[in-house]
Structure 1
């Protein structure tokens, strides 16, 4: 008698057989269901943004564990860490000159740990750094964000330079993970601690995106008006959504590998 397949394995096999359009539709539906659940469970949706920053910090702690215990930085993108440090530093500056709150403290802690990771990769564990795989030039990321910030930025009463800086860190955060995805694309195999870190980034991005979407829904669109006028309000939401979808495919394969008991992730071509 043929044994019955496990439900999760059967669902995973069914998903793999579906065309890209069906997978994209299911991903959108899953995201909407998750938003509805979060809206029902979490009463103060500002806590979602705090949770997003906390999950990001947990991801950084996973990297610290890898660097200190395994004495290797193989598979980690130094350029992604540098981009993360840049947008966190700019966001900290904006927080100090615009609005100082709990997010400022969380960003400061995350920046400190990110700078420590950069130091370890650059100096202590340089021999294990996969520089040839970390081949995405930073100007491909920094220049478009800077130009976009000059064109589309907040219309608030703050100084012009501060408004540009605010927009720049929003756009840079949305794409700061691209060098890390490039490294994984080049290697095709992702070791556990790096996979945990990138998955934490994916969860953090989703929580941050959920925070903004639910805040807009709760305020019946008034939040967008508070952010200013023109293209800036929708660009904030678009940036959050872009961050989420950049990592969505990776998170799917991470969950799939975890359910299958695999220690190493083998990424199919075109995933990242």
Structure 2
């Protein structure tokens, strides 16, 4: 096992020594290489979006295991779970009134699981909740997302309230993990189950971003026109990219920790 990990460990050590600009360049190149790889092995790129939702649900399943078996919610951000429930509820409403499909079923299951996590943190395991560390002000993300949704939303034939709701949940999803990242930055140490959950979010965000980018390439840009006109199509893609890069740094240290055989993830200052 050690011999198989050694080459990857050498690569990770080399990357760690590089300046921030080189790391950013390497991250972009790696992402582009992954997109090319996915494009050739996944024939129906719609499956990527389903996979993203499935990975998100798997991450929440990891949280439920942690809460029910270890009886602690230490290291988890209740505010991120609140934001997740909010954007899922809004997206579920949009799905019912605009396009009922497999995503509706997946979002329903994920929302139910998220509400269970919120219930456990708020009532059953309240004594282990790090309320002093979970200090991200939600209005910093909810209000800007709502204002942005009023300004930039789909130009489809749907009701204006539905179009606003659709845009709001897209923007809110992009930044919903910020309270969890703030909490981890405050504690500096991330226990395994929380790390698995956040890494699952990172993978889900990347798959979702890959879905949109590859769909645009496959349709030669026609998908952007199908989404509407104006700034909205560009904002959808930008939101997906923002979600991916918000978690990219954490995912790097997660993989580095696994390569080093560490069960507990320790984050240096300024990572998230």
TM superposition score category, shorter chain reference: over 0.9
Residue 107 (structure 1) aligns with: 107
1:152-210 deviations in whole A, cap 9, x for unaligned? 00000000000000000000000000000000000000000000000000000000000
Q: 1:92 Cα shift?
A: 0.3
TM-score (norm 2): 0.98
> 1:117-175 CA distances to partner (integer Å, 9 max, x unpaired)?
00000000000000000000111110000000000000000000000000000000000
Aligned to 1:88: 88
What is aligned with 1:267? 267
Offset at residue 259 of structure 1 (A):
1.0
Q: CA deviation at 1:8?
A: 1.9
With the length of structure 1 as denominator, give the TM-score of the two structures.
0.98
How is 1:106-145 mapped onto 2 (pairs within 5 angstroms)? Answer: 106-145=106-145
> How far apart in 1 are the matches of 2:6 and 2:97?
55
Deviation at 1:42, TM superposition (A): 0.3
2:201 alignment partner, SS class? helix
The correspondence of residues 48-63 of structure 1 with structure 2, limited to 5 A, is 48-63=48-63
After TM superposition, the runs of 4+ consecutive aligned structure 1 residues lying more than 6 A away are none
Measure, in 2, the Cα distance between the counterparts of 1:38 and 1:241: 16
Structure 1 distance, partners of 2:213, 2:9, is 32
Distance apart, 1:9 and its partner CA: 2.1
Matched residue SS, 2:270: coil
Tell me the SS of whatever aligns to 2:235. Answer: helix
**Aligned equivalents of 1:49 and 1:136: distance in 2?**
29
Deviation per CA, 1:82-119, whole angstroms, max 9, x where unpaired? 00000000000000000000000000000000000000
Structure 2: how far apart are the matches of 1:22 and 1:248? 14
Q: Matched residue of 1:6: which SS? A: helix
The Cα shift of 1:221 comes to 0.1
CA distance in 2, matches of 1:31, 1:259: 20
Q: What residue is the counterpart of 1:181 in the other structure?
A: 181
Q: Deviations over 1:29-50 (max 9, x none)?
A: 0000000000000000000000
Determine the structure 1 residue equivalent to 2:211: 211
In structure 1, the partner of 2:147 is 147
Instruction: Give 5+ residue unaligned stretches, structure 2.
Output: none
What are the ranges of 5 or more consecutive residues in structure 1 without an aligned counterpart?
Answer: none
Q: Kindly report the root-mean-square deviation, in angstroms, between the aligned alpha carbons of the 2 structures.
A: 0.8
Aligned to 1:198: 198
